Amino acid sequence: MKNKINTVDTNFLQVYKNNRTKKVNMIENFLHYGQWVILILSILSLYLVSSVKHETRLKGYILTGVARFSGAAVFIFFRFICFRYC
C-alpha cells in the first residue's frame, strides 16, 4: 500500500512540474516578444517627436506615453506572475 501511495504522489508531482514549466515558458515567450514591441514603439515615438510639425510631435508624445505605460504594465504584471510560478 505504501508503494502505491508514493507512486501516485510522484506522478502528481511530475504532472504539476510539467504544467508549471509550460506556464513559465509561455510567460517567458510573451515577455520576450512584448519587450520587442515596446522597443519598436519607443523608436517610433522618438522618430515622431523629432518631427518639425506640431501635430506629428503631439502624436509622438502620446506614443511615448503609451510605450512607457506598456513597459511599466509588463514589468508589474509579469513580476507578480513570476512570484507565483517561479
- Cell numbers found for residue 9: 504522489
Q: Are 56 and 48 in contact (CB under 8 A)?
A: yes
Report pLDDT digits (tens) over 31-43: 788 888 889 999 9
Maximum distance among all Cα pairs of the chain, rounded to whole angstroms: 80
> Domain total for the chain?
1
Handedness of CA 49, 52, 56, 59 (dihedral sign): positive
The predicted-structure confidence for 11-26, as pLDDT tens digits, reads as follows 555 655 666 666 667 7
Give the range of the structural domain holding residue 21, as residue numbers without chain letter. 2-85
Name the residue with cell 515558458: 25
pTM of the shown model: 0.64
Res 40: pLDDT: 93
Q: What is the pLDDT of residues 35-66, one digit of tens each?
A: 888 899 999 999 999 999 999 999 999 999 99
Q: How many residues does the chain have?
A: 86
3-state class of 53 per DSSP?
Answer: coil
